[in-house]
Amino acid sequence: MVLVTSEQMREFDKRTISTLRVPGIVLMDHAGKALAEAALAKRPRCVVALCGKGNNGGDGWVAARWLRHQGVNQVQVVSTVDVSELTGDARTAATSAIAAGVPHQVYAPGQPLPPADVYLDAILGTGAARPLSGQLADLVSALEAVVAASGAWVIAADVPTGVNATTGEVAGPAVRAQQTIAMAAQKLGTAITPGCLYAGDVVVADVGIGIEPSAELAAFTTAADVRAALPHRGPQTHKGTYGRVGVLVGEMTGAAVLAGLGAARAGAGLVMLAGEERVQGAPLEFVQRLFRDDMASVFAQSQALVIGPGLGDGGGLPERTARNLLAHWEKPGVLDADGLRLLRQNGALQRLPEGQWVLTPHPKECAALLETSTEAVQARRLEAATRLARETGGVVILKGYRSIIAHPDGRVRVNATGNAALATAGTGDVLAGIVGGLLAQGADSFLAACAGAFLHGAAGELAGERLTLVSTLASDVVDAIPDAIGKAFHADLEEQ
Ligand SMILES: NC(=O)C1=CN([C@@H]2O[C@H](COP(=O)(O)OP(=O)(O)OC[C@H]3O[C@@H](n4cnc5c(N)ncnc54)[C@H](O)[C@@H]3O)[C@@H](O)[C@H]2O)[C@@H](O)CC1
Ligand SMILES: [K+]
């Protein structure tokens, strides 16, 4: 499913209105009706629509008129401006609602909101430009207070007010909605944190604006990515068909083993662990090699490398080997954990060949690379992921709830699979391994990152269902990969 920025949405709106000659008020009527239907589903006795001065407010006025038309007698509008100050379609929408008998009042700061079972947040949408202050900030606090006291339901029109529709940033007060009715397409800022935490359940309403798919649009990862990343397994294939993954073994050998298991379960034909010493307890199926002077020959047969899981920060041969590989390796690879640290040298970020490596930082690692704080990364995750991709040339998976996948060419995907079952040591190593396994099978780095993130999250969910969110271990996530792959192949094609 595509995810659009405010700017992209404005282009789609403009095209529908000026080229396809659909009047804006027609689109607004569909938007407001969808909002009204979402409210009606809660069977409310009383609805209050909070309306701003722009077209988002217009959606709220239309919704109020439809609710009244459909028999909700107690519906009223609390507007941030006097009706005389409204212009264009929002003015038309308000005029019709008032003619239909919808009572309205202008919000005065400090005033409590009238009681309701459902509040519609139509204060600001994609036109929001800066953090809320003054009257609007006050209105949002009044909503929060009345909802806390009454348990009323909040439905946001298009975007919860206070959430940046493009970046998901929440830089001031913001409405917490249980549901968001997205007009024509979900806005990117409601798919990623922190914005998604304010949007609740997002439902896309077809308001008559056609969204043409294009590479520039962000999207959620899907099971289709997994199907596309895994090659067809014909009867005459052999282990060489599915590639060899080389895993660099450092100080913590268990992490390298988990990465290797992830790669193997994701379908790599062969996993090779290479380190200073043999790894005791590694699966018998793994090939083991010791480092030699000519590292190139150790990994020469590998189609993809995984560097970082368990590498450690003690310097020494593994680290020298990793640096060497980073400088000379010409095939795809995954850089994780302590491997990422190697990208920042003498205060500068190393530039990698575009799209060759997949980087899998968690927010703290991303912050270290960008020389900023973890809080700053988490507040503006989209910016952090896209900047790291642009500056390093790597495909970035910025991990965490709703992982963001960013290609240096600007493509963005959001991964919605996964849950707290993955909040345990070693799951990051498994992700690095899965991505390495997909790379070895020939998936390009962006697809491998998208499919890998999806599969890893899905495996985490399945493991969590079986073993609880509390008790799932990274090795359980590995064990759930086969079922996650099976599920991806049986997923309903409509999701695409
Ligand atoms: N024809 C269209 O363009 C359609 C638009 N629709 C709705 O219209 C929305 C976009 O409408 P607009 O572009 O009018 O924008 P908004 O209604 O989101 O914002 C209106 C105005 O509020 C002001 N504003 C922005 N940030 C503010 C802040 N922090 N404090 C105080 N004032 C602030 C700005 O002057 C802005 O133009 C969409 O989100 C959607 O809900 C839908 O009705 C479908 C059709
Ligand atoms: K809104």
The CATH number given to whatever domain includes residue 205 is 3.40.50.10260
- Residue nearest atom 23 in ligand 1 by C-alpha distance: 128
183 C-beta closer than 6 A to ligand 1: yes
Query: Residue 491's pLDDT is what?
Result: 81
Read off the pLDDT of each residue in 404-433 and give the average, rounded to a whole number: 97
| Ligand 2 midpoint to CA 397 (Å) | 30
Read off the pLDDT of each residue in 205-234 and give the average, rounded to a whole number: 94
Q: Comparing C-alpha atoms, which of 398, 392, 402 is closest to residue 367? A: 398
Which tokens belong to 60?
Answer: 């709220």
Residue 496 — very low, low, confident or very high, per pLDDT cuts 50/70/90? very low
400 C-beta closer than 6 A to ligand 1: no
Q: What angle do CA 295, 268, 480 make, to 5 degrees?
A: 125
| Ligand 1 midpoint to CA 219 (Å) | 23
* Mean of pLDDT over the chain: 95
| Co-location of 414 and 445 in the same domain | yes
Strand ranges of the sheet holding 186-187, from the earlier edge strand across to the other edge? 186-187, 2-4, 218-220, 412-414, 404-406, 395-398, 357-360, 333-336, 304-307, 244-248, 270-275, 287-290
The CATH number given to whatever domain includes residue 302 is 3.40.1190.20
| Co-location of 170 and 251 in the same domain | no
Boundary of a domain, candidates 189, 214, 239: 214
Q: What is the 3-state secondary structure (H, E, C) of the chain?
A: CEEECHHHHHHHHHHHHHHCCCCHHHHHHHHHHHHHHHHHCCCCCEEEEEECCCHHHHHHHHHHHHHHHCCCCEEEEEECCCHHHCCHHHHHHHHHHHHCCCCEEECCCCCCCCCCCEEEEECCCCCCCCCCCHHHHHHHHHHHHHHHHHCCEEEEECCCCCCCCCCCCCCCCCCCCCEEEEECCEEHHHCCCCHHHHHCEEEEECCCCCCCCCCCCEEECCHHHHHHHCCCCCCCCCHHHHCEEEEECCCCHHHHHHHHHHHHHCCCCEEEEEECCCCCCCCCCCEEEECCCCHHHHHCCCCEEEECCCCCCCCHHHHHHHHHHHHHCCCCEEEEHHHHHCCEECCEECCCCCCCEEEECCHHHHHHHHCCCHHHHHHCHHHHHHHHHHHHCCEEEECCCCCEEECCCCCEEECCCCCHHHCCCCHHHHHHHHHHHHHHCCCCHHHHHHHHHHHHHHHHHHHHHHHHHHHCCHHHHHHHHHHHHHHHHHCCHHHC
164 C-beta closer than 6 A to ligand 1: no
- The whole domain housing 185 covers 2-214
- Residue nearest atom 44 in ligand 1 by C-alpha distance: 28
| Co-location of 432 and 297 in the same domain | yes
Boundary of a domain, candidates 192, 214, 236: 214
| Ligand 1 midpoint to CA 6 (Å) | 10
127 C-beta closer than 6 A to ligand 1: yes
Query: Residue 391's pLDDT is what?
Result: 97
| Co-location of 453 and 402 in the same domain | yes
| Ligand 2 midpoint to CA 121 (Å) | 5
| Co-location of 189 and 311 in the same domain | no
Residue 140 — very low, low, confident or very high, per pLDDT cuts 50/70/90? very high
Asked if the model's pLDDT at residue 493 lies above 60, the reply is no
d(CA 202, CA 158): 9
| Co-location of 112 and 147 in the same domain | yes
| Co-location of 280 and 177 in the same domain | no
Convert the pLDDT of each residue in 430-483 to its tens digit: 999 999 999 999 999 999 999 999 999 999 999 999 999 999 999 999 999 999
Residue 52 CA: nearest ligand 1 atom is 17
| Co-location of 161 and 273 in the same domain | no
Query: Residue 492's pLDDT is what?
Result: 62
| Ligand 1 midpoint to CA 368 (Å) | 37
56 C-beta closer than 6 A to ligand 1: yes
- For 151, counting Cβ atoms within 10 Å of its Cβ (0-12 exposed, 13-18 middle, 19+ buried), the class is exposed
> What's the N-to-C CA distance of the chain in angstroms?
7
Read off the pLDDT of each residue in 329-341 and give the average, rounded to a whole number: 96
Boundary of a domain, candidates 190, 214, 238: 214
Q: Does the interface predicted TM-score (ipTM) exceed 0.95?
A: yes
Q: Comparing C-alpha atoms, which of 368, 456, 448 is closest to residue 413? A: 448
pLDDT top residue among 428 and 347: 428
| Co-location of 125 and 245 in the same domain | no
Read off the pLDDT of each residue in 229-239 and give the average, rounded to a whole number: 91
Tell me what percent of the residues of the chain surpass a pLDDT of 90.
92
Q: Which ligand has the shortest distance to the CA of 52? A: 1
Q: Tell which one of 7, 10, 55 to mutate to probe ligand 1, the residue whose CB is within 8 A of the most ligand atoms.
A: 55
160 C-beta closer than 6 A to ligand 1: no
d(CA 261, CA 190): 34
Q: What is the count of structural domains for the chain?
A: 2
Q: Which ligand has the shortest distance to the CA of 155? A: 2
Query: Residue 298's pLDDT is what?
Result: 86
| Co-location of 181 and 237 in the same domain | no
| Co-location of 81 and 227 in the same domain | no
d(CA 318, CA 379): 35
Strand ranges of the sheet holding 104-106, from the earlier edge strand across to the other edge? 104-106, 74-79, 46-51, 118-122, 153-157, 179-183, 201-205
Convert the pLDDT of each residue in 237-292 to its tens digit: 888 889 999 999 999 999 999 999 999 999 999 999 999 999 999 999 999 999 87
Q: Tell which one of 89, 126, 170, 190 to mutate to probe ligand 1, the residue whose CB is within 8 A of the most ligand atoms.
A: 126
Read off the pLDDT of each residue in 118-124 and give the average, rounded to a whole number: 98
- Residue nearest atom 25 in ligand 1 by C-alpha distance: 128
| Co-location of 49 and 195 in the same domain | yes
